[in-house]
Structure 1
């Protein structure tokens, strides 16, 4: 289960003895302070981006992410729910992080806080403290791509590189790195098209959007910093794609390395 409805989450919260539930508000603290899902702790995941996917870079990412997840209280017995304003990139990044560390008991709140409030469920404003844990999840390299993975993927016929950014970023008219454009062979499906009225679109609509991608293909998603790409990663997993990776460094790494090829219109 990669998504949970507001109704399902509210039912779990109202079970007072459910000690396994850990709710993480992945928005900025200023938003959290104005009102959040009862019991949620806050960590602005947008502050923890990573653009070094060298061997040493990934080693440091693994080390520092374990510290982060320990500090916010993730442990193997927890069912972890991430949310942001909508079914958005920060919550999806949280889901991807835990899947990468082999913690499958994770979901994101479908529709985010917008859907929660629309259902009339309660909010609280008090800050909830972290309860430190010792998280020791094992990294799963099968769902992480580095720049080396992408270099190899460009040469493979059955690998699809999926750019989750806007059309303007893809074309190179919007510049957010030293170089503009996209990774060679990439196809562009804007992550915003995954969402309607704050929540994920229905499975049939999503399946049509991604129908150009064969189900047996290796798919690597990327964006600017590995957040929008995480959203598309979650959608593809929901649709039953088995071999999906996310390029952690994304354009923040690729577009700033002069040794890597780019295409721009």
Structure 2
């Protein structure tokens, strides 16, 4: 799920490689990895995890991945500025559709540029496909699943301490999901924007390996980064709460702690 700059540089000419730049279009236009297409995943927020909401998410995501040109033999690499939340969201989405051959560029374009690797400014067009993946329901959660299992699962809140304690308000309700543990996703990264090594991550996520864990944030981007960090450590049973606080905090019938 993680690819180094050296590894990516060595396969740039592979015809079965798709590179997706998940930053803003301006950043992409100023210079991107050769061959990369632009895919702004931030515009694809989703905060409805009712049964119908998840079905709509599945359909729209399938269209998005078809547009990107994903087929079973393609290796898909996502990158952003660092080992960030956008590239992690891309990897999680493909894993959700059971496409395992996908990676986040460790250190993102910041590390790529620092190493004076090639860049280009010309935009690259999409080569659409007819993507049809197999949904993996074991790595996604909706609000009902959390509410039904709130005392049985480990809930990891990847937001900032201020969002967690309710001093920063980004929904109708402030605070956090009851029993949630707050580990800010920024702690997953080294100062240079690469992911921390397994020893450092293990000290932070000092949980039994067989724990059932659900990660969430505001819109399931930071939560996707924490999902990747946990998978890297070998946790088998990890879900991302797709609706995250954008949904939970706006559903007044759901319990909240401060």
| 2:5 counterpart of 1:6 | yes
> CA separation in 2, counterparts of 1:35 and 1:8?
20
Report the secondary structure of 1:133's partner residue: coil
| 2:166 counterpart of 1:172 | yes
Residue by residue over 1:80-111, the C-alpha shift from the partner in whole angstroms, topping out at 9 and shown as x without a partner, is 00000000000000000000000000000000
Q: How many residues align?
A: 257
> CA separation in 2, counterparts of 1:214 and 1:166?
24
| Among candidates 121, 124, 129, match of residue 128 of structure 1 | 124
> CA separation in 1, counterparts of 2:117 and 2:98?
31
| Among candidates 129, 146, 151, match of residue 155 of structure 1 | 151
Report the secondary structure of 2:11's partner residue: helix
> CA separation in 2, counterparts of 1:239 and 1:138?
25
Residue by residue over 1:169-206, the C-alpha shift from the partner in whole angstroms, topping out at 9 and shown as x without a partner, is 00000001111000000000000000011100111111
| 2:207 counterpart of 1:208 | no
Pairwise mapping of residues 18-29 of structure 1 onto structure 2 (< 5 A)?
Answer: 18-29=14-25
1:155 positional shift: 2.6
Q: Which residue of 2 aligns with 1:145?
A: 141
Q: Which residue of 2 aligns with 1:185?
A: 179
Report the secondary structure of 1:81's partner residue: strand
Question: 4+ residue stretches of structure 1 with deviation over 6 A?
Answer: none
> CA separation in 2, counterparts of 1:69 and 1:216?
31
> CA separation in 1, counterparts of 2:85 and 2:148?
26
Q: Which residue of 2 aligns with 1:90?
A: 86
Q: Which residue of 2 aligns with 1:241?
A: 235
Q: TM-score when scaled to structure 2?
A: 0.99
Pairwise mapping of residues 102-117 of structure 1 onto structure 2 (< 5 A)?
Answer: 102-117=98-113
Moved more, 147-156 or 4-13: 147-156
1:24 positional shift: 0.3
1:152 positional shift: 1.7
Q: TM-score when scaled to structure 1?
A: 0.96
1:149 positional shift: 1.0
Query: Structure 1: 5+ residue runs without aligned partners?
Result: none
> CA separation in 2, counterparts of 1:12 and 1:181?
45
Residue by residue over 1:120-162, the C-alpha shift from the partner in whole angstroms, topping out at 9 and shown as x without a partner, is 1011000000001010001110000000111022131xx1000
Q: CA RMSD in A?
A: 0.6
Query: Structure 2: 5+ residue runs without aligned partners?
Result: none
